[in-house]
Structure 1
């Protein structure tokens, strides 16, 4: 029963994200109420009854029956106890009961030594539409395996898929690496060649672990050089991807790579590319991004943790002429209620030649992470990055492992001179198809404290200045303060930037459209 003391506002845009329904669970997401007082929590109602509470704007209904429909709505509760009017009601359904295909029934052995590639692949090949390939408790060593449409790979608690340390167990194949189609070692978990057509409805879930054995594979693949390094998980050309509850770790390169996918949800996932869960460093691995949507659309990443050696999340869409020719953007991406530990936060680029648009990062916490948001598009890339919002996020970085350099220059970092150690902010070059545009970037309600370098760095090209950059309610403290070059349309409203050293604020060729208290 709702309290008589109700608020007029309600959460809006309640939805169940793409692909985020299994045979036993349904995930929900919603927006914060506009102009609302401080929210204490949200109440989630299922079929008219209170089902649970959430302190964030997501909620997962677990333990449901298969093939059942539910009507859900959400109310917000203020700190004073007022309950809002209900959101719009939506109807959601679980998937049908999944047939189980236990890999041990196909000959897989959990001894941590036997190579189980053929047995696991046999279970996948035998899996019926809507079925579930189950990895039970134990450590199962395997080479590359290839998923198919309308299946679930379920790794039970205590179960581990451990990558073989032999490069021969990963066939060399062609797919995108650093923005170009190139020969690569197959990843631990893959989809088949795109020539066979697009796939649909692939789920990877369970409370177990996917461990790509990257420390061993990195050295061997680099020494053999038949192709570029594989990933832990690389899914290509899939409509409907759901990663839930799984832990993915120790990739020889990027950890989870999603190429040309649509309708992706990532819920309660852990990704470790720098250290294991006990804090032990994965030695001698670089390019260890956490999760990379690459020419991928309609992506929802929520309630997850990424501890990365490089970018925690990197949004990409191809590189230079090839990326522009393919022309598939990454777009409609929401990242919310996530924790990032180590690495370089959420990055867009630098391979973004197919374009990136409509990215929203909200209610995330960054701990000993170099940057909250990096947008990087150097000369040669072309295309447009636009409509990026970062809101209600905090960063605290006491780590001195990294400092400002050509690869990263600030806790808030918008950089069209990315990768150039020395740059001339006044040197104009000819505008051509390789000239990138960055516009409509909004950062609001940000609190950050970094000991590593600049609090804020924003640099556009003189021939293509940053356009419509808005900082609102930003409180930032850095080793250095704020640097801004070549911006057309900068808004600073309620912005406070301070430095621990002498370099507070530097502006060069900056045009204001509005200025508040700063």
Structure 2
């Protein structure tokens, strides 16, 4: 094991959950020269920001006018296509000055739904919006974002662009109807598949091709999101169940003042079926939601590579309160699209557990992404079991170790985390010459940890009153 000295990056592969930590000298203090995370009083000051952020996050309110889609020809038999009825009801609502577009009990087949200013799309109990499996129903193309890069592509299934006061509420179900032969198959080989289109889009962004000329859609295979609200202000998604998206389920982009409350995302089978991915958003509250996903449960993002640098918009002031995470690649995740920067993320009172939940807290980026990831605060997190590491900070995502844009990652504070069992407590991988700068874990218990922990290229790791396998480290 490489000797640890003051002011040097840690490059340690822990040989055992407890013994390795002790051998590494992680005994309750950081290296003196390391920048480290905030001191305890500074952490308390950081948490004092939460009430201020919450006061700014206010759900939109709507006039008491109701526009049932059945009044515009919608039939809830699950086979009659109701795209025009949704469009007409939304147009009538907007023309009247706003209100509620009502989806009564029944199953309504439709193509893309585009929201307007001051419109609340409300699903009664027993109502299901079932989206068509025909890609033509999501044309013409719209201004959207695919994995952190802007383009013109198939419309997200529920979409709003540059709108104020929009909501999706109720006790109903929003069903993307994706499966192994519809949409999800685009992620697989052999062709037709999204791989060549992803490479083409990335190349266009690197070359600075204007977004209006990055036209995909028909003849291409970049999957749309289920719900995407783009550059909107005053957003509410509450009560609904969403499932089986082509890829990411709920994706606010460049939005301000976002509330996502008591939503269930039940989409564990699909590739890239993230639960909720606020990207380049400011003032976001995700509370009392339940996630069962085929990828990250909550993933906070900020654009990717050249396009992320062009847009240069961070995600900041994101609150994750009292959520349940089951299946997924990560419970609360930051990245991998970090180029615009992510900061002031707070998560607390969350419960995470599944044999298919790979990690509880996950930060992922690489030297092509750049950006900053800092001021992350977690407390009172309960983890029943995880399939890999409880806490992972990996700056080599997609096995990329070198590049021109090293991310600045650090100031991560975790306290009162309790994990029952997992292969490892920590997987912390910095870059040589660009370490993770500061991780503090306080008053936390890691129960049955069975495999080798990894800590490499980290400065300022502090463990205070941390117990692993029944021993204090």
Q: Shorter-chain TM-score: which interval?
A: 0.7 to 0.9
| SS state at 2:81 partner | coil
**1:295 matched to which residue of 2?**
280
Q: CA deviation at 1:174?
A: 3.9
**2:32 matched to which residue of 1?**
none
**2:58 matched to which residue of 1?**
19
Cα deviation 1:122-178 (Å, max 9, x = unaligned): 100110323100000000000001001111000000001100111111113342111
**1:186 matched to which residue of 2?**
155
| Structure 1 position 349 matched with structure 2 position 317 | no
Counterparts of 1:459-498 in structure 2 under 5 Å? 459-476=429-446, 477-498=448-469
**1:175 matched to which residue of 2?**
144
Q: CA deviation at 1:11?
A: 13
**1:370 matched to which residue of 2?**
358
State whether residues 17 and 265 of structure 1, in contact with CA within 8 Å, keep that contact through their aligned partners in structure 2.
no
Q: CA deviation at 1:442?
A: 0.5
**1:412 matched to which residue of 2?**
391
Structure 1 residue ranges (4+ consecutive) displaced by more than 3 angstroms after TM superposition: 10-17, 219-225
Q: State the alpha-carbon separation in 2 of the partners of residues 188 and 252 from structure 1.
A: 9
State whether residues 185 and 226 of structure 1, in contact with CA within 8 Å, keep that contact through their aligned partners in structure 2.
no
Q: CA deviation at 1:437?
A: 0.7
State whether residues 184 and 271 of structure 2, in contact with CA within 8 Å, keep that contact through their aligned partners in structure 1.
no
Counterparts of 1:57-456 in structure 2 under 5 Å? 95=61, 97-127=63-93, 128-171=96-139, 172-192=141-161, 198-215=162-179, 217-219=182-184, 223=192, 226-274=220-268, 282=269, 285-343=270-328, 344-368=330-354, 369-397=357-385, 404=388, 410-420=389-399, 432=404, 434-451=405-422, 453-456=423-426
Q: Which runs of 5+ in 1 are unaligned?
A: 1-9, 22-94, 193-197, 275-281, 405-409, 424-428, 505-516
Q: Please say which of residues 96-105 and 161-170 is displaced more in the overlay.
A: 96-105
| SS state at 1:294 partner | coil
Q: CA deviation at 1:12?
A: 8.9
**1:510 matched to which residue of 2?**
none
Cα deviation 1:449-477 (Å, max 9, x = unaligned): 334x3221111112111112101112113
Cα deviation 1:380-422 (Å, max 9, x = unaligned): 1111101001110011126xxxx65xxxxx220001112219x
State whether residues 171 and 239 of structure 2, in contact with CA within 8 Å, keep that contact through their aligned partners in structure 1.
yes
| SS state at 1:253 partner | coil
Q: State the alpha-carbon separation in 2 of the partners of residues 220 and 448 from structure 1.
A: 36
TM-score, normalised by the number of residues in structure 1 = 0.71
Cα deviation 1:66-89 (Å, max 9, x = unaligned): xxxxxxxxxxxxxxxxxxxxxxxx
**2:211 matched to which residue of 1?**
none
Q: CA deviation at 1:485?
A: 1.0
State whether residues 375 and 412 of structure 2, in contact with CA within 8 Å, keep that contact through their aligned partners in structure 1.
yes
Q: State the alpha-carbon separation in 2 of the partners of residues 250 and 411 from structure 1.
A: 27
| SS state at 1:169 partner | helix
Q: State the alpha-carbon separation in 2 of the partners of residues 12 and 117 from structure 1.
A: 41
State whether residues 356 and 385 of structure 1, in contact with CA within 8 Å, keep that contact through their aligned partners in structure 2.
yes
State whether residues 79 and 109 of structure 2, in contact with CA within 8 Å, keep that contact through their aligned partners in structure 1.
yes
Q: CA deviation at 1:97?
A: 4.1
State whether residues 385 and 439 of structure 1, in contact with CA within 8 Å, keep that contact through their aligned partners in structure 2.
yes
**2:427 matched to which residue of 1?**
457
Q: CA deviation at 1:221?
A: 5.7
State whether residues 119 and 165 of structure 2, in contact with CA within 8 Å, keep that contact through their aligned partners in structure 1.
yes
Q: State the alpha-carbon separation in 1 of the partners of residues 84 and 286 from structure 2.
A: 32
Q: State the alpha-carbon separation in 2 of the partners of residues 11 and 491 from structure 1.
A: 23
Q: State the alpha-carbon separation in 2 of the partners of residues 162 and 13 from structure 1.
A: 38
TM-score, normalised by the number of residues in structure 2 = 0.78
Cα deviation 1:495-518 (Å, max 9, x = unaligned): 12239xxxx9xxxxxxxxxxxx62
Q: Please say which of residues 484-493 and 150-159 is displaced more in the overlay.
A: 484-493
The answer to which structure has the higher helix fraction is 2
State whether residues 381 and 435 of structure 1, in contact with CA within 8 Å, keep that contact through their aligned partners in structure 2.
yes
Q: Which runs of 5+ in 2 are unaligned?
A: 1-47, 193-217
